[in-house]
């Protein structure tokens, strides 16, 4: 007996088949294209997602053809806007989380909605869904008149599977249309965005059965008609569930193209200035705080591809370990694609500051790694200042493979960094775990147990103290460079 977990990513769909004991039995991935038709725009065809799901589900079932499927859960890219007409047809390409066209609509929401941060737990940012919907209303009014249903990306997949237009708490909270404290749609934000609540569907918890697979979808996917499908979760919440981050205070740091610091909280506790995201957790009755930097390992990849093409990432990181702490005064700002936490500024730009003739490649590489760590620590410190004590963090993502880099993070953040078995399985495993809870009755504590620690990095008191000045100069640079960055952007 097994469940299926799906991760609807930006570049591809990953599907896993997971046994009742939590062990991954099979895995498959199907890719699809991304469209950037204009500067700042990022779109995808939802039909491509469905084709990816069908291909990857069939591939995992082919690996274990005799394994009965008891349920299904989906994790997926957040904040996107899928617009359907009254006949259930997609009326335009989906606008994605990394689309930056709607800053004017964000500014409008801050001007017109009193207490926006208190109501939603978040600032209005270009990545969120609500300003995207306003943009469509203002720039494509004829098209908007056709719209009768608004779905998030993973919820569109569930709709294709079950025929049920349903939203889920952790992902819905990232739309900027929810009263996050009370886990319901916000009448204030719906009015401000001219959205009829009927367009959004009912809200369910991540472990709640939201529908059952229809005969048509069953024929395409190769799973039994009537298979239950749970609410699932946004990708970050699903990834946290996959890593076992479901108890208050448990913290994860994901170092992929972007970087995310995620901590589970018992109650609703928004950061007063909205610099942290405060969303519902995928586990009922819990919330989470999340800091996001847009170019984490993406900054290292840009550096490698631009300045040392073809170099091995591991070798570069090892070489960085030969440069002195603080890089002899060299600092890197990792704002290559703007920045969310704590700047909330899409016009932020990256920089090397303090270059001198004494600096070699090892200095530059270490500066990139230290700059990424500083960006992650900004989120960690905001979480601490909001009242959560963080002494340990589980790391996930490709950036965690370097011991040199992980020790830097431990020292800069004054936090024990641990790597756990299975934590990198990500949102697909999280979706499967939510299905184990909701469809199979497995207790949360059992389904979401963290894996054993495989490696750990303890902060060194001397280096923690030495890094304080590095953090101080990092924080001083953005106020000094903000005007320049805005002028060139």
Strand partners, 75: 7, 233
Q: Is 487 exposed, middle or buried (0-12, 13-18, 19+ CB in 10 A)?
A: exposed
Strand partners, 309: none
**Number of residues that this document lists for the chain:** 489
- Across 48-204, the runs of DSSP E, i.e. the strands, are 69-76, 82-85, 94-95, 147-151, 166-168, 178-179, 184-185, 202-204
Strand partners, 278: 289
Which active-site residues does the annotation give?
235
**317 CB-near residues (< 8 Å, 6+ apart):** 365, 369, 402, 404, 405
Alpha-helical segments (H) within 308-359: 313-320
Task: Round to whole Å and give the CA distance between 151 and 168.
Answer: 10
Under a CB-based contact definition with an 8 Å cutoff, are residues 61 and 6 in contact?
A: no
Under a CB-based contact definition with an 8 Å cutoff, are residues 428 and 5 in contact?
A: yes
Task: Round to whole Å and give the CA distance between 470 and 406.
Answer: 17
The DSSP call for residue 254 is: E
């Amino acid at each position: 007996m097994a469940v299926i977990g799906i991760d609807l990513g930006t570049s591809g769909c990953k599907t896993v088949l997971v046994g009742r004991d939590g062990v991954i039995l099979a895995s498959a991935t199907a890719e699809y294209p991304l469209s950037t038709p204009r500067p700042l725009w990022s779109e995808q065809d939802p039909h491509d997602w469905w084709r990816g799901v069908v291909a990857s589900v069939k591939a995992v079932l082919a690996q274990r053809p005799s394994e009965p499927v008891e349920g299904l859960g989906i994790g997926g890219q957040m904040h996107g806007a899928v617009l359907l007409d009254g006949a259930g047809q997609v009326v335009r390409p989906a606008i994605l989380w990394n689309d930056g066209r709607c800053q004017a609509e964000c500014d409008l929401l801050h001007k017109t909605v009193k207490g926006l941060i208190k109501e939603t737990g978040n600032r209005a940012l270009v990545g969120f869904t609500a300003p995207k919907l306003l943009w469509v209303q203002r720039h494509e009014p004829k098209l908007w008149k056709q719209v009768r249903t608004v779905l998030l990306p993973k919820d569109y997949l569930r709709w294709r599977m079950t025929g049920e237009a349903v939203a889920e708490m952790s992902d819905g909270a990232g739309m900027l249309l929810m009263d996050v404290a009370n886990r319901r749609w916000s009448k204030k934000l719906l009015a401000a965005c001219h959205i009829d609540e009927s367009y959004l569907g009912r809200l369910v918890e991540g472990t709640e059965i939201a529908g059952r697979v229809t005969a048509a979808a069953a024929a395409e996917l190769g799973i039994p008609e009537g298979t239950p499908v749970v609410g699932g979760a946004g990708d970050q919440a699903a990834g946290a569930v996959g890593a076992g981050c479901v108890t208050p205070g448990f913290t994860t740091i994901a170092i992929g193209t972007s970087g995310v610091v995620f901590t589970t909280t018992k109650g609703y506790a928004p950061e007063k200035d909205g610099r942290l995201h405060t969303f519902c957790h995928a586990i009922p009755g819990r919330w989470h705080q999340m800091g996001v930097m847009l170019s984490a390992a993406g900054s290292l990849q840009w550096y490698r591809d631009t300045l040392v093409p073809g170099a091995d990432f591991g070798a570069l990181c090892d070489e960085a370990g030969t440069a002195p702490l603080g890089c002899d005064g060299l600092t890197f700002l990792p704002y290559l694609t703007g920045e969310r936490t704590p700047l909330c500024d899409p016009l932020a730009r990256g920089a090397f500051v303090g270059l001198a003739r004494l600096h070699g490649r090892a200095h530059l590489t270490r500066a990139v790694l230290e700059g990424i760590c500083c960006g992650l620590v900004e989120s960690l410190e905001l979480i601490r200042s909001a009242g959560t004590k963080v002494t340990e963090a589980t790391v996930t993502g490709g950036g965690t493979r370097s011991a040199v880099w992980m020790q830097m993070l431990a020292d800069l953040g004054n936090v024990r960094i641990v790597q756990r078995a299975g934590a990198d399985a990500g949102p697909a495993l999280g979706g499967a775990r939510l299905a184990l809870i909701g469809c199979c009755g497995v207790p949360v504590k059992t389904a979401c147990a963290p894996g054993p620690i495989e490696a750990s990095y303890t902060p060194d008191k001397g280096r923690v103290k030495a890094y304080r000045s590095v953090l101080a100069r990092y924080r001083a640079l953005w106020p000094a460079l903000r005007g320049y960055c805005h002028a060139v952007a």
